[in-house]
Structure 1
C-alpha cells in the first residue's frame, strides 16, 4: 500500500502527466453524458421496456457503452470508424498504392483523411439501418415518425459518431492511452458494476452466495489468464554486426545483442469480432423463419451461445481467423529485409529468405497455442451462462469485453510507466514489468 501511495504521488507530481490524465477523464465524462441523451422524437420510457440485444446487436451495444439500447445521440459509437479503419487496413495490404502510402508520413495522413470520409459513408448507412431497427423493435418508441425524423436522426447520429471520433483523437493527442480504445473500454467497463450487483442480488435471493464467491474467484483467474495471453511473447535472439566507423579515430560499433519479441496473440481481439459477426448469420436465419417452416434444430443450436455446436464452430472460427488476421498483419519477409538493412542477424540463420522462413515458422508455432487460448476465452461467456451466471455478468468471463479491457488497461499503464521512468521515478511495479518495457541490452 505504501508503494502504491508513493507511485500515485509521483504520477500526480508530474505536471504533464497530471494534465493528460485530467484531460482524458474530462473527455470521457463528456462521452458518458452523451450516451444518455436520447435522440429527438424518441420516448425513452417506452424504449426502456424493450431493451434486449443479442448477437451482433449486443456487440454493437457493448462497444457503444449502452448508448445503442438507449437510442442515444452516440448510439452508433465508434463502430463506423472501426469498420472504416479495418477496411483501410485491409486495403493497405491488398492494394499496392495504399501499401506505399502507409510507409510515408504524408501518405499516412492522406489515408487518415480517406478513413474519415469512409466513416461518414458507413455512419449514414448504419444510421439508416438503426432507424429501421427503432421502427420495428421498440414498441412504438418513435413519437413523430416521418421524413423529418428520418433525415434529422441520420444527421444527429452522423454528427454524434464524428464527435466521438474527435474525442478519441484528442485523447490520443493530448491525453493518455489510445483514445478510441479508451472510449470502447470505458463503455464496456461501465456495465460491470450493474452486472455485478445484478448477479449478487440473484444469488442472494436463491441462497447461493458461496457460488457467487466462486464466480468472483473464477473471474479473477480469467483476468489473470487474459493478461498472460496479452503479454505473452516469444523472444528470438538478435545480434548486430560489428563495423568500423571513422578513419583517423576509428571506432568499432555494433556487436550488441537484443531480441525480436513475437507476440503469442498478434491478432488481438479481431478474430473474436469476426467470428461473432459470422455466427450472427444463423441467428438471423432463425429470426426470419416463419413458425410453419421454422429453422431446424441445428440452426436453432447455432443461434444459442450456450449450445455445444455453437461453441464448437465458434472456437474453430476464432482459430481460423487468428491465423488469417496474423498472416495479414505479419510479414516475415519484410522483417527479414529490415534486419538485413540494419546489419542485424539471428545467430545461426543466414540473412534474407532463410531468416524470413525461420521467423515465419516460429510465428506459425506460437500462433497455435495463442489461437487456442483465444478460442477458449471466446467461448467462456457461453460456458459461464450455461453454469447459471446471469447473461450480463457472464459476458465479462472472457470474450470481447475483457480482452479489450485488459489490452487497453495494459497499454495505458505502459504509457504512464514511460512517463515515470523518463523522469527517473520507479515504475508502477517493484518487480515484474509492464508489457513493452525493454530489458537492459546485454
Structure 2
C-alpha cells in the first residue's frame, strides 16, 4: 500500500494522474448527453438483440446506451488509423514519414489520421442514424435534424480523439485505450446490479462457469502481456583516450505480444464496418442498403462464422501492428552504432534477419493465444446461450490489457525519478 501512496508523493506524477482522471470524468459526463428523439425501450431491445452493436457500445465507452453525442466513441479514429497504416504500404512518402522522420514525422502522420477521422465520423454517424430510424429507435428526421445530429456526433467523436491525445501526452497509458477502459469500467455497477436482481439459484453452474472464464481470461492476458524472449546482447570494448568503454553484457526483451490490445480493437472495428457501409449506401439506393444490411446480419449472426472471422482478424492485426511498430533492421542498425551485437550473429542485416525470425515465431504464439482468448466467450455463448458472456469477455480482455500497460507506464515514470516501482 505504501508503494501506491508513493505515486501521489511525486508532484509531477500526481498532477498527471489527476489530469487524466479529470479528462475521463468530463468524458463520462458528456457521454450522458443524448441526441433528441430517442425511444429508450426500442434502443435497449436493439442493443440486446444485436451483438455487433453491443461490441460497438464498448468502443463508445457506453455512450451508445444513451445515444449520446459521443455514441461513435473513438471508432472513426481507429478506422482512420487502420487506413493510414495500410497506406504506408502503398505510398513510400507516407512510409518514410512514419518510419524515418522521427517524432516530427509521427506527429504529422497522426495529424493526417485526425483529418481523415472527420469525414469517416460524418459518414458513420449518417449511416448509424439511418439504421436507428429503420429500427424505430429514432423517428423520421428532417434534413435539418439529420445535419444537426451528424455535426453533433462528429464533433463528439473529435472531442474524444482530442481527449485521447491529451492523455497520451501525459504518458499515463494510451489515451484511446483508456477512454475505452473508462467506458467499460463505468458500466460495471449496472452489470453487478443486474446480476444481483436477476439471480437464480438454479443457474449457479452458469455463474460459476462465468467466474472461471473470467479468471482464465485474466490469467491468459497477463501471461501474454508479460511474456518475453530475452535476446543476449554483448558490447565490444572501445578505448577513448585513457578510458575503456563497453565490454558489458545485456539483453534485448522481445515481447510475446508486441501489439497489446490493439489487435482486438482493430478486429472489432473491421467487424462493425460492413453494417455501417450498408447504411451509408442508403444515400444512393435505400433498397440496396436494405438488402446489404440483411446479408451482413445473416452472415455475422452465425456464431461459428463470426467467431472464425474474429479469430482470423485478431491474428492478422497482431502481425500487422507488430510489423508497423517493431522494425528489426532499425534495431539492428542502432545496436551496431552503439557497439552492440548478438553473440554468434553477424552485426547489421544478418542480426536484423535473426530478430525478424524470432519476432515472427513468438508473435505467432501470442497471436493465436490472444485470438483464442477473444473467441473463448463466443464459444461459451454457443454452449450456454448467454449473450452477455461474449461482450463481457471482450470487455474483460481490454480492461486487463489496458490496466497492465498503464501500470507499466506509471512504473517507468517512478523508476525515472528513482522511486521503487509499483509492480
- When normalised by structure 1's length, the TM-score is 0.82
Deviates most, 324-333 or 235-244: 324-333
Give the direction of change, closer, same or farther, for the CA distance of 1:240–1:91 in structure 2 (3 Å limit): farther
Task: Provide the C-alpha distance between the structure 1 equivalents of 2:150 and 2:20, rounded to a whole number of angstroms.
Answer: 28
1:269-348 equivalences under 5 Å are 269-273=261-265, 275-276=267-268, 303-305=301-303, 307=304, 310-312=306-308, 314-348=310-344
SS state of the match for residue 215, structure 2?
helix
Report the structure, 1 or 2, having the larger helix content.
2
Contact 1:56/1:277, CA 8 A, preserved across alignment: no
Partner of 1:268: 260
- Alignment match of 1:9 (pick from 5, 10, 21): 5
Deviation sequence 1:63-90 (CA, Å, 0-9, x none): 1022124211101111111222222233
User: Structure 1 stretches of 5 or more lacking a match?
Assistant: 430-442
Q: Please list every run of at least 4 consecutive aligned residues from structure 1 whose deviation after the TM superposition is greater than 6 angstroms.
A: 280-285
Give the direction of change, closer, same or farther, for the CA distance of 1:383–1:200 in structure 2 (3 Å limit): farther
**CA shift at 1:267, angstroms?**
3.4
Task: Provide the C-alpha distance between the structure 1 equivalents of 2:300 and 2:80, rounded to a whole number of angstroms.
Answer: 28
- Number of matched pairs: 408
Deviates most, 187-196 or 309-318: 309-318
Deviation sequence 1:225-249 (CA, Å, 0-9, x none): 1111112111111112211113xxx
Deviates most, 420-429 or 120-129: 420-429
**CA shift at 1:119, angstroms?**
1.3
**CA shift at 1:136, angstroms?**
0.9
Deviates most, 359-368 or 25-34: 359-368
1:133-148 equivalences under 5 Å are 133-137=131-135, 139=136, 141-142=138-139, 145-148=141-144
- When normalised by structure 2's length, the TM-score is 0.85
Instruction: Please identify the structure whose Cα radius of gyration is greater.
Output: 1
User: Structure 2 stretches of 5 or more lacking a match?
Assistant: 279-288
Task: Provide the C-alpha distance between the structure 2 equivalents of 1:387 and 1:333, rounded to a whole number of angstroms.
Answer: 46
**CA shift at 1:313, angstroms?**
5.3
Deviation sequence 1:311-369 (CA, Å, 0-9, x none): 45543454344344434443323332232222211001011232122112212221222
Task: Provide the C-alpha distance between the structure 1 equivalents of 2:275 and 2:76, rounded to a whole number of angstroms.
Answer: 22
Partner of 2:66: 70
**CA shift at 1:261, angstroms?**
1.5
Contact 2:38/2:137, CA 8 A, preserved across alignment: no
Q: CA RMSD in A?
A: 3.0
Deviates most, 324-333 or 60-69: 324-333
- Alignment match of 1:85 (pick from 57, 81, 103): 81
Deviation sequence 1:98-126 (CA, Å, 0-9, x none): 22223233333322322221111211111
**CA shift at 1:277, angstroms?**
5.7
Partner of 1:104: 102
